[in-house]
Structures are given as C-alpha cells and as structure tokens.
Amino acid sequence: MEKQKNQNRNHYTKIISITSGKGGVGKTNIVCNLAYCFASMGKRVMIMDADLSLGNVSVILGIIPKYNISQVIYGNKQLKDIIISDSNGILVLPASSGVPELSNLSESQKIALMSRFDEFTGDIDGSGEPIDILLIDTGAGISSNVLYFNLAASEIYIVVTPEPTSITDAYALIKVLNVKYGEKYFRVIVNNVRSEKEAKEVYKHLSLVSDKFLKVTLNYLGYVLNDENIPRSVIMQKPALSLFPDSKASECIKKLAYSILSQKDNKISNGNIQFFLNKLLRAF
C-alpha cells in the first residue's frame, strides 16, 4: 500500500486549467469534450469543477453527484468519497451550490482540508492507476477563486471567442495574473468561430495588446468551430464528441487534444496532485 502511494506520488500528472475572462465562452463544453477524447485515448482523466458555486460539469456529462466538495470541507468525507466516474471512465470532482469562496474558509477548516488533500493519492478506486490529466474548469472572471486555481495549475488555457467583450475580458484576466502574480505563459483556445482564419485573427488581436502592454508569452493552441451539435449535445447531456464524433466541433476537439498533449509544463512544477491542492489552499 505504502509502495503504491509512493508510486502514485511520483507519477507525472498534467494539471491544466481551462479559464476565461468572460462567462459563457464554452469552457465547460471544451473541458468535457477534451476529457472524453483523452479517456478514449486510454488516459486516466479527472475534471475538477472549480466553478464552485455554479459548476455544471455534471449536467453536461449527465451524472448526478451524491456528494460534493462541501462534504469534504464541512463533513467527514474524503476526496475519494466524492469523486465520481461517468460511463466513459471520466472522473469528476464535483462543485456544489452553497460552497463559500475558498478565501472565506477559517484557518482550522483550511488545515482540515489540507490533511484530506494529503490523504489523496489519486488512486480513488484501488485500481492503482494514477491520474494522467487533471482538467480544471474554472469560473469566469477575476475573482480569487478563478485566479488561484489558475496559479496552482501547471498550464493555463484561456478560452476566447470573437466577441470583442470576450477579448477584452481575456486580456483583463491575463493582465491581473501577470502583473499581480507574475504569471508569464498562457495558451489560447479560440471557440465558436466560423473558420480557422477567424480564430487566428482573434488570437492576433489578443496577442497584439498583450505583447504591447505585458511581459507574457501567448501561444495559439487551436480553435473550435461554431457547431449546432454542441448545444444539441448539452440538451442530451453527453459530450458532443461521443454523440457526433464526425461533426465540425468534434474534429477541432481531437486536434486540440493532440496539441495539448504536446505542450510542456512551463512552470516546471512536479505534476503532483497533492502538491497542486496544497499550493491552491495556501494561496487562499
């Protein structure tokens, strides 16, 4: 058992946040579809629903969590008790309504939570399989919840759409993470575009302002085309990639997944989930 625990601690987990300045730009759909894609490649994937009060990963995956993070904070549950698996083997750490901003936790609640985090090896079902990829679906905006989840992640992916407000809000998020917290590396995913050309224009726009006013490196990761199969899949509560694997958006998601796998961790973090969780909690 101890040996197993040590093996999992040494396993490298890719810890990535999918975030945005403006709400409703497609983060949760991108996260759920990427998770489905990674799972079908044989990777062990976990989604952390970090939109703590308005999370809707479970809705999109069609699962009903019995417990959520509030039972870990206030109750006697461990992380492994609240994590659930969907029918495709995607693990989900659910959010809940009624969870306060983590910054409102008392010191003793933080200490209790840290010890819960420390018990978590990533081997939630006793299979001995550690997690390969942790996808964090953050809320939108620049609240401390959004900022700290991004800072604790090893790679940050900003989702942006062609809407001017989405671009200015993405810039505002990049700016605060850079100026206030020294974050330098960001990847950009452009969603809801009519063509690859439009996606590149949106990226260019965002990188022009960022290069002019900030000391950041912005990498273009890819795009997802506007596709009515995405809202259709939301209604059917299954990832679009599983229902419409050959649709325009699904093709884009597959390419995105490969690009993400080829990305290196710029923060040279150790890819360890306990380390991430403790770093997150210390920030609040």
152 binds ligand ATP (CB under 6 A): no
33 binds Mg ion (CB under 5 A): no
Q: How far is the CB of 55 from Mg ion (least distance, A)?
A: 7
Q: How far is the CB of 187 from ligand ATP (least distance, A)?
A: 16
Q: Are 159 and 25 in contact (CB under 8 A)?
A: yes
Beta-carbon contacts of 137 under 8 Å, excluding residues fewer than 6 positions away, are: 18, 27, 28, 31, 47, 48, 49, 50, 51, 55, 57
Nearest to ligand ATP of 152, 252 (CB atom): 252
Q: How far is the CB of 106 from ligand ATP (least distance, A)?
A: 28
164 binds ligand ATP (CB under 6 A): no
Nearest CA-CA partner of 224 in 17, 23, 82, 28? 28
Cα–Cα distance measured from residue 118 to residue 241, given in angstroms and rounded to the nearest whole number: 34
Q: Exposed, middle or buried by CB within 10 Å (0-12, 13-18, 19+), for 8?
A: buried
105 binds ligand ATP (CB under 6 A): no
62 binds ligand ATP (CB under 6 A): no
Q: Are 278 and 114 in contact (CB under 8 A)?
A: yes
227 binds ligand ATP (CB under 6 A): yes
19, 22, 28, 30: CA torsion to nearest 10: -70
166, 257, 84, 23: CA torsion to nearest 10: 0
Position among 140, 151, 189, 281 found at the interface with ligand ATP (CB under 6 A): 140
Q: Which does 210 bind (CB under 5 to 8 A by kind): ligand ATP, Mg ion, none?
A: none
> Which residues ranging from 163 to 202 are in contact with Mg ion (CB under 5 A)?
none
Strands 45-50 and 133-140: parallel
Helix 229-236 with 27-40: angle, nearest 10 deg:
80
Q: How far is the CB of 22 from ligand ATP (least distance, A)?
A: 8
Which helix or strand (DSSP H or E) is residue 186 part of?
A: strand 185-193
Letters for 7-46 (x = contact with ligand ATP by CB under 6 A, - = none) are -------------x--xxxxxxx-----------------
Q: How far is the CB of 10 from Mg ion (least distance, A)?
A: 33
Q: How far is the CB of 170 from ligand ATP (least distance, A)?
A: 12
Using CB under 6 A, list all residues that contact ligand ATP.
20, 23-29, 51, 140, 191-192, 224, 226-227, 230-231, 234, 249
Using CB under 5 A, list all residues that contact Mg ion.
27-28
